[in-house]
């Protein structure tokens, strides 16, 4: 029986879909059988971020309504033997499925996959409720900005009220130079305010834009600092104890780390 | 020199400190579902009740949330002008 993990945030544009794509690709590369579910019905994007937009035949709503079989709707990623995407419907809205239907679907998928990652839509309404319904674990993505942290706090409150497993925090798009100047909240500030366990810290990285342009997750790029951060989170999701990377400028820790990675392989 | 000092020890005017302070306050209201208006009502009700017992300075009257480690407290700072004779001698 696999584990279902929802990636959520409250606020839009903080990196839920990018996080889902990268963790999914990273987990699959590590040998796990992985399914990604795009729960953002009406505003699907996980397909383009994964580079699979041209291969959609059926979607999540087709499966839930019994119009298509799950195995026919799942798109197999060509880069990995064991990575699949269940895309969202683009022409329907969030009310096309219910939390109960999502719970059933995710339960069914957990029997076939090691990890089922669910990309939640922004907001706290039905789309969010659908996305979290079948999840065993929740990852809350937040950037070091007041609006994102405030919305993350709201989401954490809702998750805790549902008595789900304690949510984990992923700090996204942090900038070491701004933290150093005192113009951006740092990791400790955010943990102190949100009071949840930290799963990972992803630095701001131009490679994310480039990799999204190409539809190739940055986790596969050994040169990318964000990719390295995602690889660490993947290892933590598999139960490994990986120390947090120190947040330093380009030439510092990350630079050395990249060199090290280069030598390794 | 001052810059170096500021960098090492952190500046009070650094914008992240402003962000944290604003977040701290807004999250208290979010978490307790108490709007600033509701806080104002609470303050006025407290003022009314306490004024029956003593003469208080309503200008200096402050009610706010405060955080001590993990616990949240409602802290009222109530400057007293004078304690009414009546309440003492009853």
In tens, the pLDDT along B13-64 reads 789 999 998 998 888 888 887 777 888 888 889 989 988 888 888 888 888 7
CB B52 within 8 A of CB B83: no
Residue A9: what pLDDT?
97
- Total structural domains within chain A: 1
Alpha-carbon distance A159 to nearest alpha carbon in chain B (angstroms): 13
8 Å CB contact of A195 and B19: no
Place of tokens 């510092």: A252
Alpha-carbon distance B89 to nearest alpha carbon in chain A (angstroms): 49
User: Which chain A residues in 138-177 lie under 8 Å from chain B, judged by CB atoms?
Assistant: 145-146, 149-150, 153-154, 157
Q: How many residues are there in chain A? A: 265
Scanning B1-90, the segments in alpha helix (DSSP H) are 2-9, 15-32, 36-51, 85-89
8 Å CB contact of A149 and B14: no
Residue B1: what pLDDT?
45
Helix (H, G, I), strand (E, B) or coil at B82: strand
Alpha-carbon distance B67 to nearest alpha carbon in chain A (angstroms): 11
Give the domain range for residue A189.
3-264
Q: Which two tokens stand for residue A144?
A: 């070091």
**Looking at the complex, does the CB of residue A216 fall below 8 Å from at least one CB of chain B?**
no
Query: CB-based burial of residue B84 (10 Å sphere; 0-12 exposed, 13-18 middle, 19+ buried)?
Result: middle
8 Å CB contact of A182 and B16: yes
Alpha-carbon distance B73 to nearest alpha carbon in chain A (angstroms): 16
DSSP letters spanning A197-224? EEEEEEE--HHHHHHHHHT--GGG-TT-
Alpha-carbon distance A195 to nearest alpha carbon in chain B (angstroms): 9
**Separation of alpha carbons A187 and A189, rounded Å:** 6
The pLDDT-based confidence of B86 (bands split at 50, 70, 90) is low
Place of tokens 């810059």: B3
DSSP letters spanning chain A? --EEEEEE-SSTTSSHHHHHHHHHHHHHHTT--EEEEE--TTS--HHHHHT-GGG--S-HHHHHTTSS-HHHHPEEPTT-TTEEEEPPPSSS-GGGS-HHHHHHHHHHHHTT-SEEEEEPPSSSSHHHHHHHHT-SEEEEEE-SSHHHHHHHHHHHHHHHHTTPSPPEEEEEEE-HHHHHHT-S--HHHHHHHH-SEEEEEEE--HHHHHHHHHT--GGG-TT-HHHHHHHHHHHHHTT---PPPP---TTTHHHHHHHHHHHH-
Residue B36: what pLDDT?
75
From chain A, the residues in CB contact with B31 under 8 A are 153, 157
**Looking at the complex, does the CB of residue B26 fall below 8 Å from at least one CB of chain A?**
yes
Residues in chain A predicted with pLDDT less than 70, given as ranges, are 164-165, 248-265
CB A198 within 8 A of CB A187: yes
The pLDDT-based confidence of B84 (bands split at 50, 70, 90) is low
Residue A23: what pLDDT?
98
**Separation of alpha carbons A209 and A227, rounded Å:** 12
Residue A64: what pLDDT?
96
In tens, the pLDDT along A191-201 reads 999 999 999 99
Q: Which of B3, B13, B16 to mutate to test the interface with A (most CBs of A within 10 A)?
A: B16
- Chain-centre distance for alpha carbon A198: 14
Closest CB from B6, B11, B23 relative to A149: B23
**Separation of alpha carbons A58 and A60, rounded Å:** 7
Would you tell me how many other CB atoms lie within 10 Å of the CB of residue A82?
Answer: 17
Residue A263: what pLDDT?
46
Return the higher-pLDDT residue of B7 and A242: A242
CB A92 within 8 A of CB A42: yes
**Looking at the complex, does the CB of residue A242 fall below 8 Å from at least one CB of chain B?**
no
From chain B, the residues in CB contact with A184 under 8 A are 16
Q: What chain B residue is nearest to A156 in terms of C-alpha separation?
A: B31
- Residues 6 or more apart in contact with residue A26 via CB below 8 angstroms: A217, A219, A220, A230, A231, A233, A234
How many CA within 13 A on the CB side of residue B4? 1
Q: Which of B23, B29, B65 to mutate to test the interface with A (most CBs of A within 10 A)?
A: B23
**Separation of alpha carbons A65 and A93, rounded Å:** 14
Give the domain CATH number at A132.
Answer: 3.40.50.300
Residue A255: what pLDDT?
54
The pLDDT-based confidence of B10 (bands split at 50, 70, 90) is low
From chain B, the residues in CB contact with A195 under 8 A are 70
């Amino acid at each position: 029986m696999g584990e279902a993990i929802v990636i959520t945030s409250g606020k839009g544009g903080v990196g839920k879909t990018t996080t889902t794509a990268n963790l999914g690709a990273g987990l699959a590369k590590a040998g796990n059988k992985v399914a990604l579910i795009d729960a953002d019905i009406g505003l699907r994007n996980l397909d383009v971020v994964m580079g699979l937009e041209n291969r959609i035949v059926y979607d999540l709503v087709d499966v839930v309504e019994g119009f298509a079989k799950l195995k026919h709707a799942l798109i197999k990623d060509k880069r990995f033997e064991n990575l699949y995407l269940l895309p969202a419907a683009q022409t329907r809205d969030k009310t096309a499925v219910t939390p109960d239907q999502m719970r059933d679907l995710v339960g069914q998928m957990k029997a076939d996959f090691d990890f089922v990652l669910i990309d939640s839509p922004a907001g706290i309404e039905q789309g969010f409720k659908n996305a979290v319904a079948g999840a065993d674990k929740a990852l809350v993505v937040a950037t070091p900005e007041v609006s994102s942290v405030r919305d993350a706090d709201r989401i954490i409150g809702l998750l805790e009220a549902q008595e789900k497993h304690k949510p984990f925090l992923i700090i996204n798009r942090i900038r070491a130079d701004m933290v150093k100047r005192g113009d951006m909240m740092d990791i400790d500030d955010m943990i102190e305010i949100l009071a949840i366990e930290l799963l990972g810290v992803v630095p701001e990285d131009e490679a994310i834009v480039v990799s999204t342009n190409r539809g190739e997750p940055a986790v596969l790029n050994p040169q990318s600092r964000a990719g390295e951060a995602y690889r660490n989170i993947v290892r933590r999701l598999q139960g490994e104890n990986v120390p947090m990377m120190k947040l330093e400028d380009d030439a510092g820790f990350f630079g050395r780390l990249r060199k090290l990675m280069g030598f390794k392989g | 020199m001052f810059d170096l000092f500021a960098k090492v020890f952190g500046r009070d005017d650094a914008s992240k400190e402003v962000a944290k302070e604003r977040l701290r306050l807004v999250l208290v209201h979010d978490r307790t579902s108490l709007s600033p208006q509701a806080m104002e009502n609470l303050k006025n009700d407290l003022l009314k009740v306490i004024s029956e017992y003593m003469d208080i300075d309503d200008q200096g009257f402050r009610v706010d949330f405060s955080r001590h480690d993990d616990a949240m407290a409602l802290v009222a700072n109530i400057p007293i002008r004078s304690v009414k004779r009546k309440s003492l001698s009853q």
